[in-house]
Structure 1
Amino acid sequence: MGDLPPDLDRLRTLETWLALSLRRVREEIAAAEHPVEPWRAPRKPAAARAAVPRREPTPDWGISSAGIGAPVAEIHRGDCFAGGAMQPLSAERARAELADGVQACGVCRPDRVLNRT
Protein backbone atom coordinates (compact mmCIF):
# COMPACT_ATOMS: atom_id res chain seq x y z
CA MET A 1 0.00 0.00 0.00
CA GLY A 2 1.95 2.96 -1.30
CA ASP A 3 -0.30 5.64 0.23
CA LEU A 4 0.72 4.92 3.86
CA PRO A 5 3.84 6.31 5.53
CA PRO A 6 6.80 3.93 5.56
CA ASP A 7 8.04 4.48 9.14
CA LEU A 8 6.61 3.09 12.37
CA ASP A 9 6.25 6.45 14.17
CA ARG A 10 3.99 7.94 11.51
CA LEU A 11 2.03 4.68 11.21
CA ARG A 12 1.36 4.76 15.00
CA THR A 13 0.28 8.39 14.75
CA LEU A 14 -2.09 7.53 11.92
CA GLU A 15 -3.44 4.58 13.91
CA THR A 16 -4.16 6.83 16.91
CA TRP A 17 -5.90 9.42 14.75
CA LEU A 18 -8.04 6.78 13.08
CA ALA A 19 -9.02 5.23 16.41
CA LEU A 20 -10.07 8.64 17.77
CA SER A 21 -11.99 9.40 14.59
CA LEU A 22 -13.75 6.03 14.72
CA ARG A 23 -14.75 6.65 18.36
CA ARG A 24 -16.22 10.05 17.46
CA VAL A 25 -18.18 8.55 14.56
CA ARG A 26 -19.56 5.79 16.81
CA GLU A 27 -20.60 8.36 19.43
CA GLU A 28 -22.46 10.36 16.75
CA ILE A 29 -24.19 7.19 15.51
CA ALA A 30 -25.27 6.32 19.07
CA ALA A 31 -26.58 9.86 19.61
CA ALA A 32 -28.54 9.69 16.34
CA GLU A 33 -29.99 6.28 17.23
CA HIS A 34 -31.07 7.40 20.71
CA PRO A 35 -31.87 11.12 20.60
CA VAL A 36 -32.16 12.89 23.94
CA GLU A 37 -35.28 14.92 24.59
CA PRO A 38 -34.44 18.64 24.47
CA TRP A 39 -35.73 19.14 28.03
CA ARG A 40 -33.51 16.39 29.44
CA ALA A 41 -29.78 16.95 29.67
CA PRO A 42 -27.61 13.88 29.15
CA ARG A 43 -26.36 12.37 32.40
CA LYS A 44 -22.76 11.62 33.11
CA PRO A 45 -21.87 7.95 33.47
CA ALA A 46 -22.06 6.66 37.05
CA ALA A 47 -18.28 6.31 37.23
CA ALA A 48 -17.82 9.99 36.31
CA ARG A 49 -20.44 11.10 38.87
CA ALA A 50 -18.82 9.01 41.60
CA ALA A 51 -15.38 10.48 40.88
CA VAL A 52 -16.51 14.02 41.76
CA PRO A 53 -15.87 14.64 45.46
CA ARG A 54 -18.84 15.92 47.44
CA ARG A 55 -18.40 19.27 49.16
CA GLU A 56 -19.75 19.87 52.59
CA PRO A 57 -22.43 22.58 52.65
CA THR A 58 -21.25 25.99 53.76
CA PRO A 59 -22.27 26.59 57.38
CA ASP A 60 -24.17 29.75 58.30
CA TRP A 61 -21.70 30.60 61.08
CA GLY A 62 -18.26 29.45 62.10
CA ILE A 63 -15.45 30.02 64.55
CA SER A 64 -11.83 30.22 63.51
CA SER A 65 -9.47 28.99 66.16
CA ALA A 66 -6.56 30.97 67.45
CA GLY A 67 -3.22 29.76 66.22
CA ILE A 68 -0.36 30.67 63.93
CA GLY A 69 -1.16 34.00 62.30
CA ALA A 70 -4.42 34.34 64.25
CA PRO A 71 -3.85 35.72 67.75
CA VAL A 72 -7.45 35.16 68.89
CA ALA A 73 -10.49 33.12 67.89
CA GLU A 74 -13.14 34.92 65.85
CA ILE A 75 -16.77 34.32 64.89
CA HIS A 76 -17.44 34.52 61.12
CA ARG A 77 -20.28 34.18 58.68
CA GLY A 78 -19.97 30.82 56.95
CA ASP A 79 -19.08 32.38 53.60
CA CYS A 80 -16.48 34.81 54.96
CA PHE A 81 -13.22 34.71 53.02
CA ALA A 82 -11.28 35.83 56.09
CA GLY A 83 -12.41 32.84 58.16
CA GLY A 84 -10.02 30.26 56.79
CA ALA A 85 -10.59 26.84 58.36
CA MET A 86 -13.60 27.19 60.62
CA GLN A 87 -15.63 24.94 62.85
CA PRO A 88 -19.34 25.24 61.96
CA LEU A 89 -21.58 26.78 64.61
CA SER A 90 -25.31 27.21 65.04
CA ALA A 91 -26.62 30.76 65.35
CA GLU A 92 -27.36 30.17 69.04
CA ARG A 93 -23.83 28.92 69.70
CA ALA A 94 -22.32 31.85 67.78
CA ARG A 95 -24.39 34.29 69.87
CA ALA A 96 -23.23 32.57 73.06
CA GLU A 97 -19.58 32.74 71.97
CA LEU A 98 -19.94 36.46 71.18
CA ALA A 99 -21.57 37.01 74.60
CA ASP A 100 -18.64 35.17 76.23
CA GLY A 101 -16.17 37.61 74.68
CA VAL A 102 -15.06 35.91 71.47
CA GLN A 103 -14.35 38.58 68.87
CA ALA A 104 -16.50 39.10 65.79
CA CYS A 105 -14.72 39.18 62.43
CA GLY A 106 -14.07 42.74 61.30
CA VAL A 107 -14.69 41.78 57.67
CA CYS A 108 -18.03 39.94 57.68
CA ARG A 109 -19.34 41.47 60.96
CA PRO A 110 -21.52 38.57 62.17
CA ASP A 111 -22.34 40.47 65.36
CA ARG A 112 -24.51 42.91 63.36
CA VAL A 113 -26.78 40.06 62.27
CA LEU A 114 -26.62 37.82 65.33
CA ASN A 115 -27.35 40.57 67.86
CA ARG A 116 -30.56 41.73 66.15
CA THR A 117 -32.82 39.39 68.09
Structure 2
Amino acid sequence: MGDDLPPDLGRLRVLETWAAHYLTRIRARIAAVERQQAQRQPPAPMAAPPSRSAAGPGRARTPDWGLAEAGIGVPITEIHRGDCWARGRSLVAVSAERARAELAGGAQPCAVCRPDRVLNPQ
Protein backbone atom coordinates (compact mmCIF):
# COMPACT_ATOMS: atom_id res chain seq x y z
CA MET A 1 0.00 0.00 0.00
CA GLY A 2 1.02 3.61 -0.45
CA ASP A 3 2.68 5.51 2.35
CA ASP A 4 0.49 8.54 1.70
CA LEU A 5 -2.64 6.90 3.17
CA PRO A 6 -3.52 6.94 6.87
CA PRO A 7 -3.01 3.67 8.77
CA ASP A 8 -6.31 3.58 10.70
CA LEU A 9 -9.66 2.32 9.44
CA GLY A 10 -11.66 5.39 10.48
CA ARG A 11 -9.70 7.83 8.37
CA LEU A 12 -9.56 5.37 5.49
CA ARG A 13 -13.39 5.16 5.54
CA VAL A 14 -13.62 8.96 5.49
CA LEU A 15 -11.32 9.06 2.46
CA GLU A 16 -13.40 6.35 0.76
CA THR A 17 -16.61 8.34 1.30
CA TRP A 18 -14.99 11.52 0.00
CA ALA A 19 -13.63 9.73 -3.09
CA ALA A 20 -17.04 8.20 -3.89
CA HIS A 21 -18.70 11.61 -3.54
CA TYR A 22 -16.09 13.30 -5.70
CA LEU A 23 -16.40 10.59 -8.37
CA THR A 24 -20.15 11.26 -8.51
CA ARG A 25 -19.45 14.97 -9.07
CA ILE A 26 -16.89 14.19 -11.79
CA ARG A 27 -19.32 11.89 -13.61
CA ALA A 28 -22.05 14.56 -13.45
CA ARG A 29 -19.65 17.11 -14.95
CA ILE A 30 -18.64 14.67 -17.71
CA ALA A 31 -22.30 14.09 -18.57
CA ALA A 32 -22.93 17.86 -18.72
CA VAL A 33 -19.96 18.44 -21.03
CA GLU A 34 -21.03 15.54 -23.26
CA ARG A 35 -24.53 17.03 -23.52
CA GLN A 36 -23.04 20.40 -24.49
CA GLN A 37 -20.86 18.79 -27.16
CA ALA A 38 -23.76 16.75 -28.51
CA GLN A 39 -25.81 19.94 -28.94
CA ARG A 40 -23.02 21.53 -31.00
CA GLN A 41 -22.62 18.59 -33.40
CA PRO A 42 -25.11 18.09 -36.25
CA PRO A 43 -27.15 14.90 -35.88
CA ALA A 44 -25.80 11.96 -37.88
CA PRO A 45 -28.15 10.07 -40.22
CA MET A 46 -29.59 6.94 -38.67
CA ALA A 47 -29.05 3.55 -40.36
CA ALA A 48 -31.29 1.45 -38.12
CA PRO A 49 -34.99 2.02 -37.54
CA PRO A 50 -35.56 4.31 -34.55
CA SER A 51 -36.32 2.67 -31.24
CA ARG A 52 -39.41 3.43 -29.21
CA SER A 53 -39.21 6.64 -27.24
CA ALA A 54 -39.56 6.67 -23.50
CA ALA A 55 -43.05 7.11 -22.10
CA GLY A 56 -44.15 10.46 -20.77
CA PRO A 57 -43.53 14.08 -21.66
CA GLY A 58 -40.08 15.51 -21.09
CA ARG A 59 -38.33 12.14 -21.15
CA ALA A 60 -35.37 11.66 -23.44
CA ARG A 61 -35.65 9.30 -26.40
CA THR A 62 -33.84 6.00 -25.97
CA PRO A 63 -30.78 6.04 -28.26
CA ASP A 64 -30.45 3.34 -30.91
CA TRP A 65 -26.78 2.69 -30.10
CA GLY A 66 -24.59 3.53 -27.17
CA LEU A 67 -21.00 3.55 -26.06
CA ALA A 68 -19.94 2.63 -22.53
CA GLU A 69 -16.43 4.05 -22.29
CA ALA A 70 -13.67 2.24 -20.47
CA GLY A 71 -13.07 3.52 -16.98
CA ILE A 72 -13.79 2.65 -13.38
CA GLY A 73 -15.87 -0.53 -13.37
CA VAL A 74 -15.73 -0.87 -17.17
CA PRO A 75 -12.44 -2.52 -18.24
CA ILE A 76 -12.88 -1.93 -22.00
CA THR A 77 -15.08 0.25 -24.22
CA GLU A 78 -18.32 -1.57 -25.05
CA ILE A 79 -20.98 -0.96 -27.68
CA HIS A 80 -24.63 -1.53 -26.68
CA ARG A 81 -28.06 -1.25 -28.22
CA GLY A 82 -29.80 1.72 -26.67
CA ASP A 83 -32.41 -0.45 -24.94
CA CYS A 84 -29.91 -2.96 -23.49
CA TRP A 85 -30.50 -3.69 -19.82
CA ALA A 86 -26.76 -4.31 -19.28
CA ARG A 87 -25.66 -0.90 -20.55
CA GLY A 88 -25.05 0.73 -17.18
CA ARG A 89 -25.69 4.35 -16.28
CA SER A 90 -23.07 6.14 -18.37
CA LEU A 91 -24.11 5.18 -21.91
CA VAL A 92 -23.17 7.79 -24.52
CA ALA A 93 -25.57 7.87 -27.48
CA VAL A 94 -23.77 7.33 -30.81
CA SER A 95 -24.78 6.90 -34.44
CA ALA A 96 -24.71 3.52 -36.16
CA GLU A 97 -21.67 4.66 -38.15
CA ARG A 98 -19.73 5.57 -35.01
CA ALA A 99 -20.76 2.29 -33.36
CA ARG A 100 -19.44 0.37 -36.40
CA ALA A 101 -16.19 2.37 -36.32
CA GLU A 102 -15.74 1.70 -32.59
CA LEU A 103 -16.29 -2.04 -33.14
CA ALA A 104 -13.75 -2.00 -35.98
CA GLY A 105 -11.35 -0.11 -33.70
CA GLY A 106 -11.40 -2.76 -30.98
CA ALA A 107 -14.41 -1.92 -28.83
CA GLN A 108 -16.20 -4.97 -27.47
CA PRO A 109 -19.81 -5.68 -28.43
CA CYS A 110 -22.06 -6.26 -25.44
CA ALA A 111 -22.45 -9.98 -24.78
CA VAL A 112 -26.12 -9.44 -23.83
CA CYS A 113 -27.59 -7.35 -26.68
CA ARG A 114 -25.01 -8.31 -29.37
CA PRO A 115 -25.03 -5.08 -31.43
CA ASP A 116 -22.37 -6.54 -33.73
CA ARG A 117 -24.97 -8.92 -35.20
CA VAL A 118 -27.06 -5.96 -36.39
CA LEU A 119 -24.31 -3.47 -37.20
CA ASN A 120 -22.02 -5.94 -39.00
CA PRO A 121 -24.23 -8.73 -40.35
CA GLN A 122 -22.18 -11.59 -41.81
Q: Normalising TM by the smaller chain, what interval?
A: 0.5 to 0.7
Say whether 1:113 aligns with 2:118: yes
Query: 2 CA distance for matches of 1:87 and 1:76?
Result: 10
Which structure 2 residue ranges, 5 or more long, are not aligned? Answer: 1-55
Q: What's the C-alpha RMSD, in Å, of the aligned pairs?
A: 1.6
Secondary structure at the counterpart of residue 62 of structure 1: strand
Which structure 1 residue ranges, 5 or more long, are not aligned? Answer: 1-51
Say whether 1:62 aligns with 2:34: no
Task: Give the corresponding residue for 1:7.
Answer: none
Query: Residues 53, 68 of structure 1: CA spacing in aligned structure 2 closer, same or farther, 3 A cutoff?
Result: farther
Secondary structure at the counterpart of residue 112 of structure 1: helix
Measure how far apart 1:53 and its partner are. Answer: 6.6
Amino acid at match of 1:68: I
Amino acid at match of 1:113: V
Question: Could you list the per-position Cα deviations for residues 21-56 of structure 1 after superposition, in whole angstroms to 9, with x for gaps in the alignment?
Answer: xxxxxxxxxxxxxxxxxxxxxxxxxxxxxxx87111
Task: Give the corresponding residue for 1:36.
Answer: none
Task: Give the corresponding residue for 1:98.
Answer: 103
Size of the alignment, in residue pairs? 66
Query: 2 CA distance for matches of 1:53 and 1:113?
Result: 30
Q: Which aligned runs of 4 or more in structure 1 are off by greater than 3 angstroms?
A: none
Say whether 1:80 aligns with 2:84: yes
Amino acid at match of 1:54: G
Query: 2 CA distance for matches of 1:54 and 1:67?
Result: 30
Amino acid at match of 1:67: G
Q: Which has the larger radius of gyration?
A: 1
Amino acid at match of 1:96: A
Measure how far apart 1:68 and its partner are. Answer: 1.8
Secondary structure at the counterpart of residue 113 of structure 1: helix
